[in-house]
């Protein structure tokens, strides 16, 4: 088994003194001075008594981000409300808190996290705590602590307690020397952001723990994820979410990427479906531990043209952010996800027209949209 290391005081102090916004996909964590013993008691209280069943007992870290809440809803529908525990270091909204078990969990507090796993008899762990690309570049020490030190804690606990562990990766795990169109599962990566470097580290450490300790590690490289029920905040692909909000509110959108910047994208329902499917796939079906998944690939210009079918007067302008543009230029234009489709039957449901229709149906019936329809 791996050697368990206590969290260094420096990393804990860093997180206590650092505030940061979270990206579209994932949620950063920080310590807020709650004792592990107190947290463990809270965990037992909120998770109540579970009935014995064949269902997995699930913990989701960084659960208040774009993906965590939606994943919890999907898993509770499948495995039962009380078998899925959502966690974060932030206070949840009332609708999230009362929708099912929620607890405080700081991934940089090893003892706290270990007690939660033990006290709640966790068998599956979805590790969503991380800082995204743009946010990570603005605070590299914090990103290093959360994305790497936190991952090490999760890996050690998962290996010690024989958990099935899911850690998401990203298009950001590739770099300018990677083949971009298409990008296969196995190729040169060499990312140039701390976010990308930490995700390559997660992929390789997970694979190592699988072969060294038998850890059931599973990982998907997500493209840009688009959803209607969360605000953008820190990702390079966030423009593809913000354009819908701005189109409805003002009829104007200023894009920080060039109009011809092609990136792989996916609607959140496809993302969550793929995550559950790879976790439920028989171990013998998996020929690798990390898979690309894809649904569509488009440019800001192509997305704007589709949006203008609903908001014809949308005014699209461009003010290129050189940092984000450089990141996007180093990422894949298209993902080759043929291995996922072959090994465990991955198949997406949403292409660009379906994505845009669904986004506007969720975001409301603004007058300009009603007129267009």
Which residues are known catalytic residues? 195
Distance CA 237, CA 120 (A): 36
How are beta strands 124-127 and 84-88 bridged, if at all?
unpaired
Taking the CA atoms of residue 264, residue 268, residue 274 and residue 277 in that order, the dihedral angle to the nearest 10 degrees is: 180
Pairing of β 296-298 and β 263-267: antiparallel
Contact 223, 295 (CB under 8 A): yes
| Paired residues of 85 in beta bridges | 59
Integer Cα distance of 67 and 56 in angstroms: 19
58: enclosing H helix or E strand = strand 58-61
- Kindly write down the DSSP assignment for every residue of 250-261, as one continuous string: TSEEEESS-TT-
DSSP string, 85-109: EEEESSPPPHHHHTTS-EEE--TT-
211 contacts 2 by C-beta, under 8 angstroms: no
Question: Strands 290-292, 58-61: parallel, antiparallel or unpaired by DSSP?
Answer: unpaired
Terminal Cα-to-Cα distance of the chain (whole angstroms)? 60
């Amino acid at each position: 088994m791996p050697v368990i290391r206590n969290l260094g005081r420096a990393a804990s102090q860093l997180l206590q003194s650092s505030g940061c916004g979270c990206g579209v996909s994932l949620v950063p964590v920080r310590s807020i001075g709650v004792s592990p013993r107190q947290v463990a008691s809270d965990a037992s209280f909120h998770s109540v008594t579970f009935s014995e069943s064949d269902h997995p007992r699930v913990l989701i870290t960084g659960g208040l981000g774009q993906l965590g809440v939606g994943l919890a809803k999907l898993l509770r529908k499948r495995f039962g409300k009380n078998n899925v525990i959502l966690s974060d270091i932030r206070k949840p909204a009332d609708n999230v808190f009362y929708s099912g078990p929620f607890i405080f969990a700081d991934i940089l507090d090893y003892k706290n996290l270990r007690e939660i796993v033990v006290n709640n008899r966790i068998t599956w762990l979805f590790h969503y705590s991380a800082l995204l690309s743009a946010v990570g570049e603005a605070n590299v020490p914090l990103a290093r602590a959360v994305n790497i030190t936190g991952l090490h804690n999760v890996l050690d606990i998962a290996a010690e307690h024989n958990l099935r562990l899911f850690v998401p990766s990203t298009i950001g795990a590739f770099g300018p020397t990677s083949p971009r169109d298409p990008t296969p599962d196995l190729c040169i990566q060499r990312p140039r952001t701390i976010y990308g470097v930490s995700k390559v580290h997660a992929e390789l450490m997970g694979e190592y723990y699988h072969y060294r300790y038998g850890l059931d590690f599973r990982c998907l490289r997500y493209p840009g994820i688009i959803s209607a029920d969360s605000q953008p905040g820190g990702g390079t692909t966030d423009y593809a979410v913000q354009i819908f909000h701005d189109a409805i509110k003002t009829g104007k959108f200023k894009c920080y990427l060039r109009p011809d910047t092609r990136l792989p994208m996916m609607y959140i329902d496809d993302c969550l479906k793929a995550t559950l499917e790879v976790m439920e796939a028989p171990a013998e079906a998996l020929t690798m531990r990390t898979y690309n998944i894809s649904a569509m690939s488009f440019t800001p210009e192509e997305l704007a043209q589709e949006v203008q079918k609903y908001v014809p007067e949308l005014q699209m302008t461009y003010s290129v952010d050189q940092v984000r543009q450089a990141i996007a230029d180093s990422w894949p234009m298209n993902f080759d996800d043929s291995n996922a489709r072959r090994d465990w039957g991955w198949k997406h449901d949403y292409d660009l027209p379906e994505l845009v229709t669904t986004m506007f149906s969720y975001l409301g019936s603004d007058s300009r949209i009603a007129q267009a329809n």
